[in-house]
Amino acid sequence: MPIRAILFDLDETLMQEAGSDRVAGLVTAEFASARVGVEPASLYTALVVRSAEMWRAGPAFEYCRTIGISPAEGLWGGFGGVGDGLATLREWVPRYRVDAWTRALGDLGVRDSAFAADLAGMFVRERHARHVVYPEALNVLATLIQKYPLALVTNGASEIQREKIARSGLGRFFRHILISGEAGVGKPDRAIFNLALSALGVEPRAAVMVGDNLSRDVGGAKSAGIAAIWVNRNTGLHPDVANQPDAEVPNLAGLDRIVLELSTRA
């Protein structure tokens, strides 16, 4: 059966996530360097390590793992909405942010919780200002939307993902947008893929998923009977035995041709 609809992941597929976190973190760390003499890259590395430790030990870790909310997002994102998980995050996250910066500074010999609070606030502002779309993404989506209905299937908190979608301008390309924080289930659970298929009105074998994560995007799609294209921007990575994509691309350029090839193969 020919491909009749395309599902897309958001973070690291259409938009830079880790790169934006790093730039915002280094800008903040350079400010700290000018004030207290720490080495910026070392401070940012310490922040990543300390925030991940705290996140895993935090009161909403299981909720975040289910929905797909990262430690980095906890350092800057909003958690509006109803539900116990979000309420817990709203209460805990302000302390988490300050403590993460406090511990990172402490690792470099600086003991100043008030300054850490300033850095936490600065990082939030810097990260909100950076929602960077990969350079080929807009042209590719503009081409594909002429031929296929598109759906966005992304893990994360609703407020965070909606901000990314709105500020990047990506929302106009998608007929349906499914966010794990709104659906109550996230990738790789086949249920969120089934919701996307139902919204688009297509069978699994008539759709293809495009994403960067082998487990969540490729494995999740395949479990739902959907073909999967792996966007492998880090060409040093290789598919694992359990999650073999139907096609692999280094970026989104030429995606139209790959989808046509999969249609012919199907």
H/E segment holding residue 209: strand 207-211
Per DSSP, the chain holds a count of helices (H) and strands (E) of 12, 6
Q: Is the predicted pLDDT of residue 262 greater than 60, yes or no?
A: yes
Residues 98 and 207 in one domain: no
Mean pLDDT for the stretch of residues 127-139: 96
Out of 91, 108, 128, a domain closes at 128
> 110 and 199 share a domain?
no
In angstroms, the Cα distances linking 252 to 13, 16, 127, 257 are 8, 13, 24, 11
Q: Are residues 241 and 177 in the same domain?
A: yes
Q: Give the pLDDT score at 73.
A: 98
Tens of pLDDT, residues 54-65: 999 999 999 999
- Of 106, 128, 150, which one is at a domain's C-terminal end? 128
Please give the tally of structural domains in the chain. Answer: 2
**253 and 204 in a common domain:** yes
Cα-based torsion angle of the residue sequence 91, 95, 97, 100 in order, rounded to the nearest 10 degrees: -140
Residue 237 has pLDDT above 80, yes or no: no
**What mean pLDDT is predicted for residues 6-34?**
97
CA 7 to each of CA 134, 149, 242: distance values in angstroms, whole numbers, following the listed order: 17, 9, 21
Query: How is residue 223 written in tokens?
Result: 């479990």
Q: Of the residues 128, 154, 183, which one is the last residue of a structural domain?
A: 128
CA atoms within 13 A of residue 105's CA, in its CB half-sphere: 26
51 and 122 both lie in a single domain:
yes
Same domain, 122 and 137: no
The answer to whether residues 10 and 22 belong to one domain is: no
- Beta-ladder partners of 11: 15
Note whether 9 and 136 are same-domain residues.
yes
Residue type, 137: A
The pLDDT of residue 236 is above 70? no
**Whether residue 136 sits in one domain with residue 10:** yes
* Residues forming beta bridges with residue 228, ordered by sequence position: 209
What is each CA distance from 175 to 160, 184, 195, in whole angstroms?
A: 20, 20, 13
Same domain as 86, residue 192: no
Tell me: do 26 and 12 sit in the same domain.
no
234-244: buried (b, 16+ CB within 10 Å) or exposed (e) per residue? eeeeeeeeebe
- CATH number of the domain bearing residue 212: 3.40.50.1000
* Global pTM value: 0.94
Q: Which domain holds residue 145?
A: 5-16+132-265
Nearest partner of 29 among 115, 128, 94, 130, judged by Cα: 115
Vertex 232: Cα angle to 230 and 235 (nearest 5): 145
pLDDT above 90: residue 243: no
Q: How far apart are CA 244 and CA 262, in angstroms?
A: 15
